Chain A
Amino acid sequence: MNLFSKIKIGKRLMLSFAMLCVFTIAIIAVTISGLVDVTKQVNLNARNSELLLTSQDVSVYAHKIGELLAVITITNDKNQREMYKSKIGKIRLAYRSLLDSLQKQVASEEEKVLLKAVVDVITGVQVSTDQAIALADSGLLDNARSLFSEKAVVELEKITENAENFVAFQKKQILNLESKVKKTVVSLSRLVIFLGVLLVAFSIIMSTLTTRSITRPLAEIGSKIVAVADGNIASDISQELLSRSDEVGTIGKCVQNLISNLKNSIVNLTSGMKDIANSTGELQSIATTLNKETAGLKQRATTVAASTEEMSANTHSVASGMDETSNSISSVAAATEEMNATISDIAQNAEKARSVSAEAMKQGETIVDVVKKLGISAKDINTVTETITSISAQTNLLALNATIEAARAGAAGKGFAVVANEIKTLAEQTSTATGDIKAKINGIQTATEKAIADIQQITGVIKDVGDIVNGIATAIEEQSTVTKDIAANISQATDGVKDANVRIRETAKVSNEAARDISIMKNGFDGIVEVTGQVNYSTEQIVNASGKIKSIVEQFKV
């Protein structure tokens, strides 16, 4: 199987066909050689049959000569004898030609020996026949008859015997050859059947191996691509497939590169989303803290306002009491003491308000930093989406080439053409998703810019609040000096009361100023609360936008 995966598909198919062809040619060669063998033996058999017939003829001729010779030795009629003599001559010519043809056809030593015996006897009989005829011609019929019966008959019978021997030998040869042919045919048919079965088994194994080595990895790639189309890119293509060096291996490597690129991009995108979520959370907590602190500030401003009102009332009561008696100076002193305590309260509260507004300004700067980081993260995501766009363009090209390649494969490539189309659809979906992400990131950047502007407005308002609080502190200091003067002047008598009356009016004026300042400060705090609400709204928008991006990213299972 490993050896298979190293060879290109075309060569693999050629190899299988070549091996099958060699097998088939071997079987045909074996069959032809067997048939040639059988044909040779059948030819031999035909020759043997001919020999058999010829030798039987020789035997028949010997008998005929015997019969004719018998008549010659008996008859006195010269004409009849001449007629038989010529008949004998004809028969001799006939079997001489037969013997010539036999000698030509005889092949084995054993046959030659047998034939030579026949020829020798025939030569002998020819001599004795000629002698018998000569005796008969010279009128010695009795001598001729005795020569015929003593010598020629015996020799003629010998010819028959020898010829029969030859016939028996040929019959044996024919039987031998027949059994040999039968054996050859049986063994040949067995060999052909065995080779045929071997060929069928071999071709089944070869075709199964070749087909499986192509369809199995293609099916795996197909299932991986369908998984990617469904958004599941967690599983990789097996190492065995990637190590292949044929066309299927190349496709597998391309798809694997595509999957790992997509995976990296999504991991980067996810980490970018986490950064945004963290930054947004920080921003929200800062806005909440600012809101809380401002509420505290507002409460304290209310306290200051109440104190200022109280102070105003006290100042009035001092003014009304001043006209009555000098013994009410003691009550004035008490009131002055009370006033002193209240002023120190105010001073404390003003100090607190100042520190809170400084803190708020510092936090505002932190928020600006965080929001700027958010903008940078969004830009980072933009570079990631550019990478994804380039990947989708490459995927599109890959799908195009896969379609052409599938068409080249003909009917076998039809299934892969469907896969190529799926890849194309996937690339288009990726492109659309990237466009969505780009639009969302633009939304985030717009929201970020708005948030920065809002926060800068907030810090401006806080600075104003700080200035106002500083104004209050100065006013309180002035008040403090004035109350000290009052305390000093209370020890002086009634004429000092008048002087005090003037100062008390001054005090009333200053406390009115303080009340006005405090109400301005309260308005400032309302402004802060409104602005922090806006910050909260902006961060919620960012959270919504990042949630949408996250849902897009989560379509992919990494």
Chain B
Amino acid sequence: MISIENTEQNSILTVIFVVDDILFGLDAGIIQEVVQVKKITPVRQAPPYIAGVMNLRGRVVTVIDLGTRLEMQQVEINDQCRILIVEWKQEYIGVLVNSVSEVIQVEKSDIKSSPGNVKGVQQMFISGVFKRLDQTHACLLDIDKLLDPESRENEKDRVE
């Protein structure tokens, strides 16, 4: 997996996006591109967080509803919605979000570990929190845990 890290400046290029009115961030290095939502075909008997599959220039891409995945409000499809195309384990996976706001450099020293009072599913998927220029906070997501179907099962076991 490629990681775009500027070793001189010690910062990570991060794509900032919104899910259910909350700001999240993902390392731009793992994102192949950002596309507008076209036709998503539902898949029967798939887990609830799989929104379906889409056609990306002749390639079949599985689309994950990040809202459902994070146990938040399901992403409602409109003009603002975007799909982040991520390359994960030699496979293209689409991550459906409410909107994409910008791409920024985040200093590594600015990334704090997630606060202890965040529990449950979100605590599992969040690798850190950082403050943006306008003083709002955004959560950095761990793509490996997010896309691994087993982490979901483990979480269920733990809750039980």
Contacts and interface: CB of A to CB of B under 8 A. Distances in A.
Contacts of A271: none
Contacts of A408: 2, 4, 29
B124 to A, nearest CB: 26
B79 A407 contact: no
A407 B4 contact: yes
The size class of the interface chain B forms with chain A is 10 to 19
B69 interface: no
Given A407-B28, A407-B29, A408-B29, A397 B4 contact: no
Say whether chain B's binding surface is mostly helix, strand, loop, or mixed. Answer: strand
Contacts of A394: 36
B79 A400 contact: no
Contact of A404 (B15, B36, B79, B82): B15
A369 to B, nearest CB: 37
B103 interface: yes
A388 to B, nearest CB: 15
A405 B102 CA distance: 14
Interface in A390-408: 393-394, 397, 400-401, 403-405, 407-408
A437 B102 CA distance: 26
B100 A400 contact: yes
B76 to A, nearest CB: 18
B36 A397 contact: yes
Nearest to B103: A403
Given A393-B79, A397-B82, A404 B34 contact: yes
Contacts of B107: none
Contacts of A397: 34-36, 82
A394 B38 CA distance: 13
Nearest to A396: B100
A394 B82 CA distance: 11
Contacts of A405: 33
B31 interface: yes
B111 interface: no
Interface string B101-125: 0110000000000000000000000
Contacts of A401: 33-34
Contacts of A403: 28, 103
Most buried by A among B2, B28, B82: B28
B13 interface: yes
A411 to B, nearest CB: 9
Contacts, number: 33
Nearest to B79: A393
Contacts of B29: 407-408
The size class of the interface chain A forms with chain B is 10 to 19
Contacts of B35: 397
Interface string B25-42: 000110111111000000
Nearest to A394: B36
Most buried by A among B31, B35, B82, B103: B103
A261 B15 CA distance: 28
Contacts of A407: 4, 13, 28-29, 103
A408 B32 CA distance: 9
Given A407-B4, A408-B2, A400 B34 contact: yes
A397 B79 CA distance: 12
A394 B2 CA distance: 27
A503 to B, nearest CB: 85
Interface string A405-419: 101101000000000
A403 B105 CA distance: 11
Interface in B26-83: 28-29, 31-36, 79, 82
A393 B15 CA distance: 17
A401 B83 CA distance: 12
Interface string A376-398: 00000000000000000110010
B24 to A, nearest CB: 16
Nearest to A405: B33
Contacts of A404: 13, 15, 28, 31-34, 103
A506 B90 CA distance: 111
A400 B36 contact: no
B60 to A, nearest CB: 21
B18 to A, nearest CB: 14
B36 to A, nearest CB: 7
Most buried by A among B33, B79, B100: B33
A469 to B, nearest CB: 60
B99 to A, nearest CB: 11
Contacts of B33: 401, 404-405
B34 to A, nearest CB: 5
A404 B13 CA distance: 8
Given A407-B13, A407-B29, A408-B29, A400 B2 contact: no
A32 to B, nearest CB: 39
Contacts of B2: 408
Interface string B1-35: 01010000000010100000000000011011111
Contact of A400 (B4, B32, B103): B103
A395 to B, nearest CB: 12
A405 B100 CA distance: 16
A511 B114 CA distance: 100
Nearest to B35: A397
Contacts of B31: 404
Contacts of A400: 15, 34, 100, 102-103
Nearest to B36: A397
Interface string B137-149: 0000000000000
A407 B28 CA distance: 8
Nearest to B84: A404
B66 to A, nearest CB: 17
B148 to A, nearest CB: 23
Nearest to B28: A404
A401 B82 CA distance: 12
B100 to A, nearest CB: 6
Most buried by B among A394, A403, A407, A410: A407
16 contacts: A393-B79, A397-B82, A400-B102, A401-B34, A403-B28, A403-B103, A404-B13, A404-B15, A404-B31, A404-B32, A404-B103, A405-B33, A407-B28, A407-B29, A408-B4, A410-B4
Given A397-B34, A401-B33, 7 more contacts: A394-B36, A400-B102, A400-B103, A403-B28, A404-B33, A407-B29, A410-B4
Nearest first, the 3 A-B pairs at minimum CB distance are A407-B13, A403-B103, A401-B33
